């Protein structure tokens, strides 16, 4: 029992160390956009190519890019910023499979705990772009919706990329979740759906300009 107590106590220190490392590293990052998506799509996927383009255009507009640091869409996001000379951040997670850091990061952090990593995403992002992906991608999407819906953070743009991928989920939300009264109609306005790289930057820029005009609307967690 004593060994268990010691182990649990040391886990708290590891969590604290990850929080401190993340905050100290990203504190002066400036305006940043997180791009999420699958770790499994090939680099000849249209979504991979579009993620590179979206990240490049955001980087050209002086937004830093944050990804999960892994392969596929995450690599594409980092590549678009890295090749542009902009800040390319990877928030890597230690996993038994799939996750290996891509080499397109100029700022790289590694996390043992998902919840600390997720906090860094939402604390240092002023917008999310969500490409097609699996459970992890869906988790980031729905958690951001929850935080905004419950007003734990200020509203910021959540952009779903690819109507053909997301339309079935949105139809289900309308036909079942909304119909049962589990969400309000206005909750379906908390995100955008786009199909072209050119559609992303104007949404992010508009939000950034509003933040500059009304800095009290800053959405980040205070911890």
pLDDT tens digits along 20-57: 999 999 999 999 999 999 999 999 999 999 999 999 99
Tell me the domain boundaries of the chain: 2-213
User: Which segments of the chain are extended strands (E)?
Assistant: 32-36, 64-67, 88-93, 107-111, 128-130, 158-161, 192-194
Mean pLDDT within 91-116 = 88
Q: What is the pLDDT of residue 223?
A: 46
Q: What is the pLDDT of residue 6?
A: 63
Q: What is the pLDDT of residue 222?
A: 47
In angstroms, the CA 50 to CA 161 distance is 9
The answer to whether 131 and 47 have CB atoms below 8 angstroms apart is: yes
Q: What is the pLDDT of residue 217?
A: 58
Q: What is the DSSP letter of 196?
A: S
CATH 3.40.50.450 applies to domain 2-213: yes
**Residue range 157-210, pLDDT digits in tens:** 999 999 999 999 999 999 999 999 999 999 999 999 999 999 999 999 999 999
Mean pLDDT within 130-153 = 97
The answer to whether 144 and 155 have CB atoms below 8 angstroms apart is: no
Which pTM was predicted? 0.93
pLDDT reading at 99 higher than 70: no
pLDDT reading at 10 higher than 60: yes
Burial (CB < 10 A; 0-12, 13-18, 19+), residue 181, is exposed
Report the chain's mean pLDDT, rounded to a whole number: 93
pLDDT reading at 69 higher than 50: yes
């Amino acid at each position: 029992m004593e060994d268990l107590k010691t182990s649990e106590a040391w886990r708290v220190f590891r969590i604290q160390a990850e929080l401190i490392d993340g905050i100290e590293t990203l504190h002066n990052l400036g305006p940043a956009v997180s791009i999420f998506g699958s770790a499994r799509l090939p680099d000849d996927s249209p979504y991979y190519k579009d993620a590179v383009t979206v990240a490049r255009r955001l980087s050209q507009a002086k937004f830093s890019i944050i990804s999960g640091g892994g392969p596929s869409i995450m690599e594409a996001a980092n590549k678009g910023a890295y090749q542009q000379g902009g800040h390319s951040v990877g928030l890597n997670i230690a996993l038994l499979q799939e996750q290996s850091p891509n080499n397109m990061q100029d700022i790289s952090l590694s996390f043992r705990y998902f919840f600390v990593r997720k906090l860094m995403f939402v604390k240092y992002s002023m917008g999310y772009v969500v490409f097609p992906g699996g459970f992890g991608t869906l988790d980031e999407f729905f958690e951001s919706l929850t935080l905004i819906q419950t007003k734990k953070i200020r509203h910021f743009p959540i952009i779903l990329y690819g109507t053909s991928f997301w339309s079935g989920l949105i139809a289900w939300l309308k036909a079942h979740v909304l119909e049962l009264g589990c969400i309000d109609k206005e909750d379906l306005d908390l995100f955008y759906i786009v199909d072209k790289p050119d559609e992303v930057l104007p949404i992010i820029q508009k939000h950034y300009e509003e933040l500059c005009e009304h800095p009290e609307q800053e959405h980040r967690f205070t911890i």
